[in-house]
Structure 1
Amino acid sequence: MTYTSVYPATGELHARFDALDAGEALRILERSAGAFASWRRRSPGERARGLEPLAAALRGRAGDYARLITLEMGKPIVEARAEIEKCAALADAYARLAPAWLEDELVDAGGREHRVAFEPLGVILSIMPWNFPFWQAMRFAVPALLAGNASLLKPARNTPRCALALAEVFLAAGFPEGLLQALLADHDTVARLIADERVRGVSFTGGTEAGASIASLAGRHLKKAVLELGGSDPFIVLADADADFAAEGAVRGRMVNTGQSCIAAKRFILRREIAGPFTARFVERMAALRVGDPLAETTQVGPLVGEEAAREIEEQLAEAVARGARVLTGGARPRPGPFFAPTVVGGVDSDMRIWREEVFGPIAPLLVVDTDEEAIALANASAFGLGASLWTRDEARGLELSRSIEAGTVFVNSVVQSDPRMPFGGVKRSGLGRELSRYGLLEFCNIKGISVYGHGA
C-alpha cells in the first residue's frame, strides 16, 4: 500500500510514502505506550496547558497548513484557512472547559464516600478520512489526549502530509514525544494494532462499510470503538419559512467542502407552499457560485477529491435523469479535472439513487411534500441518521418537530455544524458514540466508581 499526495485540481503528484511494515508500526506503538505511562499521571490541568501553545502554533502557520490541505484534497483555500482556525478554536475551548469536565464527581449513595473518577484507557488508534484532514483528527485527538490517553493517527491514503504536519504541531506545542504520532499503515497492520493489548480503543471516521469492518475488528478483541460514519442529512423547509433565508442556508449546507462532507445537506424536503419561491432562489444562488482553482481566493467550489468521485456522482445523477428527474442548474463538468458544477435537481422520487444513497458532491435533489408529518416521515426514511436541519419562523414548532427526527444532531434555522461544546455523532448507519463536548471527552475514559466505607463499620 502506498500513500500519495496528489493535487486534485491537476493530478500533479507531490509526494509518495510507502506504508510502514508491521515491525515499524509496532515500534511506533511502543513509543506511544511509553508516552502514555507518564502522561496519564499528569492532572487534567497540566495536560491542558499545552493547548494554548497548540492553538498559537496552528494560527502562526495557518497559511502553510491551509495550502497543504488544498494541495492534498482540493478544498478551496478560504475554507482550508477556516478549517485551521476551527482547530485552534477547539484547542481554546477544551483548555477552558475540559479540566472541570474531568474532575471527580461526588455521589450521594449512602456510606461514607462515593465518587466517580474519569481515568484514561491507554493508546487509542484513530483512523481518519481525507475531507477535513486537520479538523477531524483534531476533534478526536484533543479530547483523547486531555483525558490522559495517547494516540496513533492513521490518515487517509491521499492526505499523509497533513497527518505528518499535525503530529509535528503537537510536538512544537510541547506535548511529549510519542504522545500523538502519525501512522502510515496498511489494512493488515491496522488489524494487527487493533488486536494488540496496548491499543485500548479505536476512533474511526469514514464510510459506513469500512466503519462496520473496523467495528467488527474492535468487537472481536473487546475494544471500545467510536464510529462517525456517513450521512444523508435532510434539509426541511416548512411552509412558513423565509424563502431567501432558507435558500441562503441551503447553499451553505449543501456546498461546504464542495459537497464532500458527512454533515452536508443532501436531501431537500420542501412543503408545497414554499417550494416554488425557495427553488427559484436556491437555483439562482447555486448557479452563481464560482468553480475554479482551489488555490484562488475567489474560488467558491473546488474539484472533487478525484476522478472516481466525480464519476460516482455523475452516475447517480444520470440514473435520476433517466427516470424523469430534471436538472434545474448545473449537471455538467465545467472544466478539465474532477470538477462538477453546483447542481439542483427537481422531479425527484425517493427511490432514486441521488435520494437513497449518500451523494458526496455538489448535487441537491428536491422533493415536495404536503404536510409536516410527511416531511418528517421522509426525513426518517433513510438508513442514515447523522444530522438534520429544519427551517421555520415558528421556533417552538421547529423544536417540537426536531424531537421526531431520527438524527444525532438537529439544527433549527441553521445548517448542521459541529461545536466543541455540543455532542456530535449519529444514529442508525451513521455511527456509534459521540465526539466533542464532555460526552466526547468521556468516550475514551474509564468511568470508575469509587466507594469508601469506614473500617469495621
Structure 2
Amino acid sequence: MSSAQSNFKNLFKSENEIPEEYQVPIIHQREYLLNGELVQWNGDVTEIYSPVCIPTENGLERKLLGSIPNIGPKEALDVLDACVKAYDNGLGEWPTMSVEGRIQCMQKFVYLMIKERDLVIKLLMWEIGKTLPDSTKEFDRTVDYINQTIDALKDLDRESSRFQQAEGTIAQIRRAPLGVVLSMGPFNYPLNEIFTTLIPALIMGNTILFKLPKHGVLAHYPLLKAFQEAFPKGTVNTLYGKGSEIITPIMESGKVNVLAFIGSSKVANGLKKLHPKVNRLRAILSLDAKNAAIVTKNANLDIAVSEIILGSLSFNGQRCTALKLIFVQKDVAEEFTQKLTAAVSVMKGGLPWEKDVKITPLPEVNKPPYLEECIADAISKGAKVLNENGGYNEASFVFPAVVYPVNDQMKLYHEEQFGPVIPVVPFETIEEPIDYQVNADHGMQVSIFSEDAMEVSKLIDPFVNLVSRVNINCQAQRGPDVFPFTGRKDSAEGTLSVFDALRSFSIRSLVAAKITDSNKDLLNTIVRDHDSNFLSTDYIF
C-alpha cells in the first residue's frame, strides 16, 4: 500500500460512522418564493449531491442530499414580473417605506434567520465541504454583517436628516433605491458572499431576484420562510434552475436595473451584453482573481509560510481572495520551499466535522481532474511536486500540492486554479512580480512579505495602482467588512463594504425648493405631520 493510500485510507466513512449530530435529513425542496408565497413546484428537479462520498458496492459515491426545483424560462419571467410589480416604478410598499420601517423588517429577518443556525451550518458542511469552524464562522459573520449594515444605514440616515442651504435653495438629500436587483452569488461562500450584495440592496429599498448558487443551494432552504415573513410580498423572490436557460430571458427583458454578480468576468460580460439598454444597468461585480504573494530575501520566512498557508489553503483555496501564485526571491527559495512543504505535509485531510481537519472534499465534480491537469502541465515543463502526497486524489478529495519552480509557460502561472495547489515562482529582481501584475488581467490583491522598510515602500507605490489592496506580511482577505472590497481590471466593478455597499445599491436623490417663507412653511408642515417618508428629520437611534 502506498503512503498516500495509507494516509487517506479511511477518509470517507460509511453513513453509520458519521456522528448523529452532524447528519442531515434528505431535503426534497418543492417550493420557491414568489410574490410572498411559497409556490409548489411539480416539474423537473435537479438532484443535489454532497462532495462527501460514501463507500458503496460500486465504490465511492457522492451522497444524495436532496433536490431543488428546476424552473424554466416561463416561470423565471413570472418571478421577474412579481419583482417588477413589487417595485412598481418606485411606488411600491417596500421602496416607499421609511428607513425605520425597512430596518424593522430586516431585524425581524435576522431574528428568524438565527433560529435556523444549526441546520444551515450543517448544510454548508454537507453541500460544499466547508469545515465546521468555517461553516459556523460564515453563518455568524453573515449575521454580524447584517447588523453592521443596519447600523451603517442608521448612520447614513442621521447624516441625511438635515436640510442643506446653498445659493438661495434649500434641499434635503437622501439615497433612494435603483429598482429590481438580480443577485447571483458563488458556491464558496453561498451565504456570506451573496448576502453582502443582497442585504444592502434589499435594505436600501430595491426588490430582489435571488438566483441561488449551484452548490450551497439547500443551505438557503431554511431561510425561505424568514424572507417570506419578514418582508412585504414580492420584495424577495427566488430563482432555481439552469442559469443559461432562466437568466437570459430575464436580462433580455431589460427590466433588471442592477446586476449583483460574484463569479467569472466572462459570465458577467455575457450577462451585461444581454441587457437591451446597458446604460440603464448598474453592475456590482466581484470577479476573477489570481492574487500573488511576494516573498523577498528580507522576509521573515516563518511568518510568510504561516500566512501563505492560510491565504492559499483556507477552504481548500476556493476563495477569490486566496493567494494563488507565490513569488519567492531565489536567495531564499530553497529555505522557503522547505518550510512551506513541511507545513503543508502535516495538514490534516478529512470530513468537514472532524476535529482539526483543514483539507476537505471539493464540491465541483470537474475540479479534481482539472487540478491534476494543471499539475501534469507544470511537471511536463520542468516543475516538481515538492510535498509528499501532493496532488493525491481520491474521488472528490485532493491533497494540496506545492509545485516548484513554476514559470510563465505553465497553466498554473496564468489560470485561477481555485483549489488546493500552491504554485511557487522563483525570481531574481523585484521587477519580475511587478511585471507579472502589470500584464495580468486581474487586479484584486497582493501580499508582500519583507521586513525591509525601504523595500516594502518601493513595492507599495506601484502595487496600489495595480491592485485594490496591498497586504503587508499577511494573507489576502476580504475583511474586516468595514473595509472597501473591490478590484481593478477584470476583478471587480463597484465597491463593497458595509459602508460602500449601501451607496452602490442606491442613488442620491433630493427635494429642493427656493428659500421663501411659503416654501419654509410648506416643508415644515410636511416634516411636522410626517406626511412623507422621504422628507423627514426623524432621528433613528
TM-score normalised by the chain length of structure 2: 0.78
Please show how residues 288-327 of structure 1 align to structure 2 within 5 Å.
288-327=346-385
Counterparts of 2:348 and 2:410, CA distance in 1: 28
Is 1:413 the equivalent of 2:470?
no
Distance 1:347 1:5 in 2: 39
Identity %: 23
Q: Deviations over 1:30-51 (max 9, x none)?
A: 4334444111122333322344
- Tell me the residue number matched to 1:142: 199
AA aligned to 2:180 is V
Aligned residues: 456
- What does residue 485 of structure 2 align with? 424
Q: CA deviation at 1:269?
A: 1.2
Q: Tell me if the contact between 1:54 and 1:91 (Cα under 8 Å) persists in the aligned partners.
A: no
CA offset digits 1:177-197 (Å, max 9, x no partner): 432232114323212222335
User: What is the letter of the counterpart of residue 98 of structure 2?
Assistant: S
* Distance of 2:372 and 2:178 partners within structure 1: 44
Could you list the runs of 5+ residues in structure 2 that have no partner in the other structure?
1-43, 54-61, 519-541
Deviations 1:127-168 (A, max 9, x none): 112111111111111111121112111122333312333433
Q: Which residue of the other structure, out of 442, 454, 458, is the alignment partner of 1:384? A: 442
Q: Aligned ranges for residues 88-167 of structure 1 at < 5 Å? A: 88-102=143-157, 103-104=159-160, 110-114=167-171, 116-167=173-224
Residue of structure 2 equivalent to 1:175 = 231
Aligned to 2:102: 47
1:26 aligns with 2:69: no
Find the residue that maps to 2:289 and give its secondary structure: coil
Greater radius of gyration (CA): 2
In the alignment, is the contact (CA less than 8 A) between 1:263 and 1:417 conserved in 2? yes
Aligned residue in 2 for 1:277? 335
Relative to 1, partners in 2 of residues 1:93 and 1:288: Cα closer, same or farther, differing over 3 Å? same
Q: Distance in 2 between the 1:280 and 1:314 partners?
A: 22
Large movers: runs of 4+ above 6 Å: 105-108
Match of 1:9 in 2: 52
Structure 1 stretch 325-334 or stretch 227-236: which is displaced more? 325-334
Aligned residue for 2:257, secondary structure, equals strand
Change (3 A) 1:4 1:400: farther
Q: Is the 8 A contact 2:184 2:260 kept in 1?
A: yes
Matched, 1:205 2:262: yes
The question of whether the paired residues in 2 share the 8 Å contact of 1:2 and 1:157 is answered with no
Among candidates 415, 437, 452, match of residue 357 of structure 1 = 415
Counterpart of 1:87 in structure 2 is 142
- What is the rounded CA distance, in whole Å, between the counterparts of 2:45 and 2:413 in structure 1? 34
Structure 1 stretch 139-148 or stretch 196-205: which is displaced more?
196-205
SS state at 1:404 partner: helix
- Aligned partners of 1:396, 1:122: CA distance in 2, in Å? 49
The equivalent residue for 1:443 is: 504
Q: Distance in 2 between matches of 1:275 and 1:201?
A: 46
1:433 aligns with 2:494: yes
Shift of 1:385: 1.2
- Relative to structure 2, which stretch is displaced further, 347-356 or 10-19? 10-19
AA in 2 matched with 1:66: I
Task: Write the distance in 2 (CA, Å) between the matches of 1:168 and 1:219.
Answer: 34
Say if 2:348 and 2:356, in contact at 8 Å, map to a contact too: yes
Q: Distance in 2 between matches of 1:283 and 1:58?
A: 42
Q: Which residue is equivalent to 1:195?
A: 252
Decide whether aligned partners of structure 1 residues 123 and 432 sit closer, same or farther in structure 2, where only a CA change above 3 A counts: same
Distance 1:410 1:74 in 2: 30
Structure 1 residue ranges without an equivalent (≥5): none
Task: Check whether the contact 2:116–2:223 (CA below 8 A) recurs between aligned residues.
Answer: no
Q: Which moved more, 1:47-56 or 1:264-273?
A: 47-56
For the Cα contact (< 8 Å) 2:486–2:496, is it kept in 1?
Answer: yes
User: C-alpha root-mean-square deviation of aligned residues, in Å?
Assistant: 2.7
Cα distance change, pair 362–118 in 1 and its aligned pair in 2 (3 A)? same
- TM-score relative to the length of structure 1: 0.91
Contact kept, 8 Å, 1:304 with 1:339, in 2: the verdict is yes
What amino acid does structure 2 have at the position aligned with 1:434? T
